[in-house]
Amino acid sequence: MLALGKLLELTLAGREPAEKTQLTVDGVRMRWLTEGALEVRPPEARDNGMDLLLSAGIHGNETAPIELLDRLLQAIARGTIKPRARILFLFGNPGAMRTGARFVEEDLNRLFNGRHESSSGPEALRACELEHLAETFFSPPGRTRLHYDLHTAIRGSKIEQFALYPFKEGRSHSREELSRLRAAGMEAVLLQNKPSIVFSAYTYDRLGAEAFTLELGKARPFGQNGGVNVERLEQRLQQMIEGSEPALADASLEGLQLFSVAREVIKHSDAFILHLPADIENFSELPKGYLLAQDAGKTRWIIEEEGARIIFPNPKVKNGLRAGIIIEPTTLAPQG
């Protein structure tokens, strides 16, 4: 196997490879760009026009997606996966990955779309670097651009594998991409309704990619991900890389649950209280009239929506950040 196939090993050790560029026996070019970043380019005659950005480790303790990308990359380096797409593999937060922590100083996935410019520290620098890497990768015109940012969640979930679809004014959701997500094992998709500061929102909004945050289960340490089943996603990614993906049945999204954001719960002060059990799972249902949270100045969040559920509840976030999202079932808008 080519040494560059050991990108994860290099990243965890904080080492640069001796050779920055290597070729497989099939002529696939692997190029190390910077820490945790490697570009894979098929021979020109095999290139099918897809640019696929695969990122993981934006939170350093979310190891199942990191291990998934490591398996794909090693298979490419051995020649058992023969790419027809250009791929950029990114391990987002090497410093946090090395310590098994979610982040070093602050949440990297809250620093995109320019937010890093008003911050400092290792995550702010890395967010800027990741934006530039993605921008350069997606710069060739006339190609299909797709970004999957792979995560696992802090807590368990009633719906274990789901995707978040970013928002951009005037841009409609792709039935084809939703069908692809369903084929990759996603059980639900949250259709967001305002701009965001996460990595997938940056590539969707600024770079014109179809982009998604994928949540694959609960975060566990390296080597302890037997309970996170990514087989369907791994198979689909391999097919996308090799250009052997079955035709997407974009007429039907049967079995895929769609949700929209009803409201975000923002923590304004240290007086904030979230009235939920500490171990509550994502997608837990909330009854109408329930007092979900309260904050200083008599601020209260009372459930008004029919079929409301909660995702990403976290009362420990910094003041001014989102402490949870109230979501509700929805349907896809008709295509114009």
Known binding-site positions: 59, 62, 151
In angstroms, rounded to a whole number, what is the distance separating the alpha carbons of residues 209 and 140? 12
96-128 CB burial, b ≥16 within 10 A, e <16: bbeeeebbbebbbbbbbbeebeeeeebbbebbb
pLDDT digits (tens, 9 = 90+) for 20-29: 999 999 999 9
Q: Which of 210, 242, 274 is the last residue of a domain?
A: 242
Whether residues 128 and 17 fall in one domain = yes
Q: Does the residue 254 lie in any domain?
A: no
* pLDDT-based confidence at residue 222 (cuts at 50, 70, 90): confident
pLDDT digits (tens, 9 = 90+) for 95-113: 999 999 999 999 999 999 9
Whether residues 160 and 277 fall in one domain = no
Whether residues 296 and 161 fall in one domain = no
77-94 CB burial, b ≥16 within 10 A, e <16: beeebbbbbbbbbbbbbb
Give this prediction's pTM.
0.94
pLDDT digits (tens, 9 = 90+) for 152-208: 988 889 999 999 999 999 999 999 999 999 999 999 999 999 999 999 999 999 999
DSSP, residue by residue, 150-179: EEEESS-BSS-SEEEE---TT-PPPHHHHH
Q: Which amino acid type is present at position 240?
A: M
In angstroms, rounded to a whole number, what is the distance separating the alpha carbons of residues 189 and 100? 28
In angstroms, rounded to a whole number, what is the distance separating the alpha carbons of residues 268 and 291? 17
Whether residues 158 and 297 fall in one domain = no
Which pair of tokens denotes residue 314? 């976290």
Active site residue 215: yes
Whether residues 13 and 151 fall in one domain = yes
Q: Does the residue 252 lie in any domain?
A: no
Q: Which residues neighbour 134 within 8 Å (Cβ) at sequence distance 6 or greater?
A: 53, 88, 90, 147, 199, 202, 203, 207
Q: Does residue 217 carry a pLDDT above 90?
A: no
Q: Does the residue 49 lie in any domain?
A: yes
The closest of 144, 149, 179, 154 to 164, measured between CA atoms, is 149
CA dihedral 287, 303, 312, 203 (to 10 degrees): 130
The closest of 85, 221, 95, 61 to 148, measured between CA atoms, is 85
Q: Does the residue 87 lie in any domain?
A: yes
CATH of the domain at 226: 3.40.630.10
* pLDDT-based confidence at residue 332 (cuts at 50, 70, 90): confident
Q: What is the pLDDT of residue 335?
A: 58
In angstroms, rounded to a whole number, what is the distance separating the alpha carbons of residues 94 and 282? 27
Q: What is the pLDDT of residue 226?
A: 76
- Residue 278 structural domain: 265-329
- Helix orientation angle between 63-78 and 231-242, rounded to the nearest 10 degrees: 40
Q: Does residue 250 carry a pLDDT above 60?
A: no
Tell me how far CA of residue 168 lies from CA of 54, 208, 311, 329, in angstroms: 21, 10, 21, 20
In angstroms, rounded to a whole number, what is the distance separating the alpha carbons of residues 25 and 55? 26
Q: Which of 227, 242, 257 is the last residue of a domain?
A: 242
Q: What is the pLDDT of residue 119?
A: 86
pLDDT digits (tens, 9 = 90+) for 114-145: 899 988 899 999 999 999 999 999 999 999 99
Q: Which residues on adjacent β-strands are paired with residue 218?
A: 153
Share of the chain above pLDDT 90, in %: 86
Known binding-site positions for Zn(2+): 59, 62, 151
Q: What is the average per-residue pLDDT within 4-15?
A: 97
Whether residues 87 and 204 fall in one domain = yes
Count of domains forming the chain:
2
Whether residues 237 and 270 fall in one domain = no
Whether residues 64 and 25 fall in one domain = yes
Q: Which of 215, 242, 305, 306 is catalytic?
A: 215
In angstroms, rounded to a whole number, what is the distance separating the alpha carbons of residues 175 and 332? 9
* pLDDT-based confidence at residue 249 (cuts at 50, 70, 90): low
